[in-house]
Amino acid sequence: MPLPELAMAEFRAVSANLRELSSVETADLEAGHRVAAMSEVGIQLLQQRMAHHLTRVVIELTTLEEHSAPVLMEVNLHEEWIEALGENSEQDFGAFLDADDRRLRKLMLESQSRFRAQSLIRQEIRHRRNAPDPE
């Protein structure tokens, strides 16, 4: 898959080889400077291309957007959480979303309540950032 807008000095043309798919444990990833990030539409186009390659079915982008919106929102909020509260707070983010029988995750699933979930999570980030240090 060509990545034409990704300019890297050591390469003339950048692309991703999608023939071998696998999962990687978070612990195996090296933290560092991000060189690129796909837009939400780019992610959906990639999903559409991969699904078509594997099944020959064309999934409409609107369908992919509908189903990926909660996940993409969670990823963006997770990044905000880590930037505001530090890498040591990563486990707290998951615990906060799972609290009260996964209430926030359930709110994110429905388009009409997604904004409410986002507001509650951002409110918690502000609260934790402004809370006095327990030490």
Instruction: Using the predicted structure, report yes or no on whether residue 12 has a pLDDT greater than 80.
Output: no
Domain boundaries defined on the chain: 26-130
Question: According to the model, what pLDDT value does residue 26 have?
Answer: 77
What pLDDT score was predicted for residue 134?
64
Q: Which tokens belong to 125? A: 């980030």
Q: Is 84 left (phi over 0), alpha (psi -120 to 50) or beta?
A: alpha
pLDDT (0 to 100) of residue 10: 66
Which tens digits make up the pLDDT trace of 58-112?
999 999 999 999 999 999 999 999 999 998 898 999 999 999 999 999 999 999 9
Longest dimension (CA), the chain: 58
User: Is the entire prediction scored with pTM above 0.85?
Assistant: no
32-63: per-residue pLDDT in tens?
777 777 889 989 998 998 899 889 999 999 99
- Contacts of 93-97 with C-beta under 8 Å, sequence gap 24+, read 96/121, 96/124, 97/121
Separation of first and last alpha carbons in the chain? 50
Question: What tokens does 119 get?
Answer: 């507001």
